[in-house]
């Protein structure tokens, strides 16, 4: 592309932000728990328990979704121990989510923040090993901190 204001030198178009869509979609995933925490904080008292339950459900779904990333990583690997480990780790968040949603024991919902942090740590290790995009780990960190903070706020407000 030639800049019409210059002496005919080529001007490079701005580089596309390859992280734009992942960031927009990722951060938009924080909107439902933010809305739920606001409803818990300022909504009608008779809806607090149901709203907290919805928050737990949402975070459990996100944990299960994040485990699927490990399956995606495993699909690119040759058969072996690393692939097996990614596949096994990929189902653990789903199983934890299932326990949280089906076992009615006090403090069971606290398994979810620990699971979110464990998934982040695993993804950080995978990113270094598998050469994932540079935007992935900073985005995962922001989303993990944001979701964990909102979740704990919603449980304890």
Give, in order, the Cα–Cα distances in Å from 90 to each of 56, 68, 72, 74, 80: 20, 6, 9, 9, 15
Look at residue 125 in the predicted model and tell me its pLDDT.
92
- Residue 13 pLDDT exceeds 90: no
The confidence score (pLDDT) of residue 128 equals 85
| DSSP track, 90-156 | HHHHHHHHHHHHH---TTGGGHHHHHHHHHHHHHHHHHHHHT--TTHHHHHHHHHHHHHHHHHHHHH
Residue 148 resides in a domain: yes
Domain extent at residue 110: 28-38+46-156
Does residue 151 fall inside a structural domain?
Answer: yes
pLDDT for the residue numbered 11: 59
User: pLDDT tens-digit profile of 28-68?
Assistant: 999 999 999 999 999 999 999 999 999 999 999 999 999 99
What is the mean pLDDT of the segment spanning 145-152?
Answer: 98
How many domains is the chain built from? 1
pLDDT at residue 12 in the model? 58
- 72 is a domain residue: yes
Query: Is 12 contained in some domain?
Result: no
User: Is 75 within a domain?
Assistant: yes
């Amino acid at each position: 592309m030639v800049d019409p204001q210059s002496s005919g030198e080529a001007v490079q178009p701005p580089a596309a932000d390859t992280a734009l869509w992942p960031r927009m979609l990722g951060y938009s995933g924080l909107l439902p728990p933010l809305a739920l925490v606001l409803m818990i904080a300022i909504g009608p008292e008779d809806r607090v328990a149901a709203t907290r339950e919805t928050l737990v459900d949402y975070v459990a779904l996100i944990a299960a979704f994040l485990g699927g990333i490990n399956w995606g990583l495993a699909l690119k690997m040759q058969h072996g121990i690393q692939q097996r480990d990614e596949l096994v780790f990929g189902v653990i968040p789903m199983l934890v989510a299932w326990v949280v949603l089906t076992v009615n024991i006090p403090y069971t919902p606290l398994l979810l923040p620990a699971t979110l942090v464990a998934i982040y740590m695993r993804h950080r290790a995978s990113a270094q090993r598998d050469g994932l995009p540079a935007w992935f780990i900073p985005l995962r960190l922001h989303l993990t901190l944001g979701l964990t903070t909102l979740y704990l706020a919603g449980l304890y407000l």
